[in-house]
């Protein structure tokens, strides 16, 4: 029996984000008809770049289920990367976007006759409001009757190994959470995008939850050594004790701050993903931290 899905028209929710725009790029290269879900308040330059690449942009907001009806017209599959964590506008929160908004999208997909949803979640990184929202959506999606794939990647190297979050490689400085010894299967954004696209038509991904990681599990201190070799310079390290991160989490005044502190603690604890079984089912060559260090 063929369990693959006809994904000729794919809607990417979160199309202007880091991951969403990469998914759009790869889908266009595969000659898919791509709709990029954008908001009236989305960055005009990002929308222009999507259109220039061949993406049909459609307006809609996960917080307003009614706005999704037109966007989903003729759509056979959805890849949702939407989150309130990095791109926030008025009214955006973990509750309204990552929880209620994603559930609105699932319900709208049912109404529109969409055949499959690929939902980008994340692996077990620590109890926090963001993870609670992700697991709630996963449960709702798995009970929806839709064909689905839930992807649970670990830490994105381009996000967590970037100046934005303290890994300031241009200036040879790095903030290390905890002692920096526990290993993480850092994954590249482009590889998560490739898995999301492959999951649309791969029968082994249908109605499955799949954890994702990179090719190597490396501690933050091992990552520093790789970058020191690539940049031929010694890094200045600043250590943030685990106790300080726990205090930051416990003192958090809002769900997003609590979630970020928990994710930092997740780095302290490590996040190793065994990719052997997944590698057998997907022909995707994974980028390494070494590759990333040479590209920056």
For the segment 148-165, what is each residue's pLDDT rounded down to a tens digit? 999 999 999 999 999 999
Nearest CA to 256 among 58, 88, 66? 88
pLDDT at 88: 66
Name the residue with higher pLDDT: 105 or 43: 105
Q: Is the dihedral of CA 183, 188, 191, 196 positive or negative?
A: positive
Per-residue pLDDT reduced to its tens digit, 78-88: 999 999 886 66
Q: Is the pLDDT of residue 52 over 90?
A: yes
The pTM for the full model equals 0.93
- CATH fold of 9-153+187-213+272-284 reads Rossmann fold (3.40.50)
Hey, what are 285's tokens?
């060559």
| Separation of alpha carbons 261 and 92, rounded Å | 19
Helix, coil or strand: residue 283: coil
How deeply is 7 buried, as exposed, middle or buried, from its count of CB atoms within 10 A (0-12, 13-18, 19+)? buried
Nearest CA to 120 among 104, 140, 98? 98
Asked if residues 268 and 245 have their Cβ atoms less than 8 Å apart, the reply is yes
**What percentage of the chain exceeds 90 in pLDDT?**
89
| Separation of alpha carbons 21 and 293, rounded Å | 22
Strand order in the sheet with 173-177: 167-168, 173-177, 236-240
Q: Is the pLDDT of residue 63 over 90?
A: yes
């Amino acid at each position: 029996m063929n369990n693959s899905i006809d994904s000729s028209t794919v809607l990417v929710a979160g199309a202007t984000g880091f991951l969403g725009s990469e998914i759009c790029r790869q889908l266009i290269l595969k000659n898919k008809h791509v709709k990029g879900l954008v908001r009236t308040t989305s960055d005009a330059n990002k929308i222009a770049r999507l259109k220039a690449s061949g993406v049909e942009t459609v307006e809609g907001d996960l917080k307003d289920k009614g706005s999704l009806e037109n966007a989903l017209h003729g759509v056979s599959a959805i890849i949702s990367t939407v989150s309130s964590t990095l791109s926030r506008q008025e009214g955006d929160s973990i509750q309204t976007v990552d929880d209620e908004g994603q559930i609105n999208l699932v319900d709208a997909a049912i109404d529109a006759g969409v055949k499959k949803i690929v939902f980008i979640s994340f692996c077990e990184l620590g109890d926090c409001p963001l993870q609670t929202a992700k697991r709630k959506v996963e449960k709702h999606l798995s009970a929806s009757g839709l064909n689905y794939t839930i992807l649970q990647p670990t830490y994105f190297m381009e996000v967590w190994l970037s100046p934005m979050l303290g890994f300031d490689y241009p200036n040879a400085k790095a903030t290390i959470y905890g002692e920096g010894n526990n290993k993480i299967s850092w994954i590249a954004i482009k590889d998560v995008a490739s898995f999301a696209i492959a999951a649309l038509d791969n029968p082994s991904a249908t109605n499955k939850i799949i954890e994702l990681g990179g090719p190597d599990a490396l501690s933050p201190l091992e990552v520093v050594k790789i970058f020191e070799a690539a940049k031929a310079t010694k890094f200045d390290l600043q250590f943030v004790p685990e106790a300080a991160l726990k205090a930051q989490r416990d003192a958090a005044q809002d769900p997003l701050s609590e979630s970020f502190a928990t994710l930092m603690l997740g780095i302290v604890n490590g996040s190793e993903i065994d990719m052997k079984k997944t590698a057998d089912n997907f022909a995707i060559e994974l980028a390494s931290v070494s590759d990333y260090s040479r590209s920056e």
